[in-house]
Amino acid sequence: MGEAPSNSIPRHVAVIMDGNGRWAEARGLPRKAGHRAGAESVREAVDACLEKGVKFLTLYAFSSENWNRPEKEINALMKLLEQFLRTKGKEFRKKNVRLRTIGRTHLLPESCRSELAKVINDTSSNTALTVILALSYGSREEITDATRRIAEKIARGELEPDQIEKDTIVEHLDTAEFPDPDFLIRTSGELRLSNFLLWQLSYAEFFITEKNWPDFRKSDFNAALEIYSRRQRRFGRV
């Protein structure tokens, strides 16, 4: 199969990385083993994006609802995040990948925030691909925070209510500096958005696979991109 033409490659891919726990449980392993295996799929997704020319990759790494999981699992996830940042940070610098985040990251442990800040700073000038980690992220929370910031501007007299347009909201979202995703991939067969990028995914193409995230490798990512290349995006037009 040949390379898809460049205009059929999505500029921005978003991924709901679902099924790490189920992958582990099916193998009689602790859930944290599934999260570790999922980190390898992240590496392969990044490599696929670099090879195909995708410019932005947003990964739903830890949702605002995930704070309701057992404390033991949350602690394991935070340790895995630190390990991921220490390891992948070096790879990102080498591969010209920039790291950014969205979400209420101030709720993360200080050690995670410190490691995040270091990698974000060290990769800030990289240009091949921007990887956006959604951490402590929920789209309803994001829209709530954006609404609050807009209301504060109105209260200070910096903005009039009748000046609020769609772009006003966009400018106050966590994703203000990034283009909206063109393509959403969700693994593990679930058919819902799970409070992920509700505003930004309004016109995205969806791809759902039954594979759990640890089994979703570069060949699967490339196959999904090939399916995207055959879609016709009309944006309401005929």
pLDDT tens digits, 103-150: 999 999 999 999 999 999 999 999 999 999 999 999 999 999 999 999
Question: 208 is written with which tokens?
Answer: 């759902």
pLDDT of residue 3: 43
How far, rounded to the nearest angstrom, does the alpha carbon of residue 62 sit from its chain's CA centroid?
Answer: 9
Q: Over 60: is that where the pLDDT of 20 sits?
A: yes
Other CB atoms within 10 A of residue 6 CB = 8
Catalytic residue among 18, 174, 182, 220: 18
Give the domain ranges of the chain: 6-138+181-228
Catalytic residue among 66, 126, 195, 222: 66
Active-site residue, 18 included:
yes
**In sequence order, what are the residues at sequence separation of 6 or more whose Cβ sits closer than 8 angstroms to the Cβ of residue 68?**
none
Question: 55 is written with which tokens?
Answer: 């410019």
Residue 2 confidence class, pLDDT cut points 50, 70, 90: very low
- % of the chain residues with pLDDT over 90: 91
pLDDT of residue 134: 98
pLDDT of residue 49: 98
Active-site residue, 145 included:
no
pLDDT digits (tens, 9 = 90+) for 43-76: 999 999 999 999 999 999 999 999 999 999 999 9
Q: Over 50: is that where the pLDDT of 4 sits?
A: no
pLDDT of residue 233: 77
| 6-138+181-228 CATH fold | Undecaprenyl pyrophosphate synthetase (3.40.1180)
pLDDT of residue 238: 54
Name 137's bridge partners: 63
Residue 6 confidence class, pLDDT cut points 50, 70, 90: very low
What's the pTM?
A: 0.94
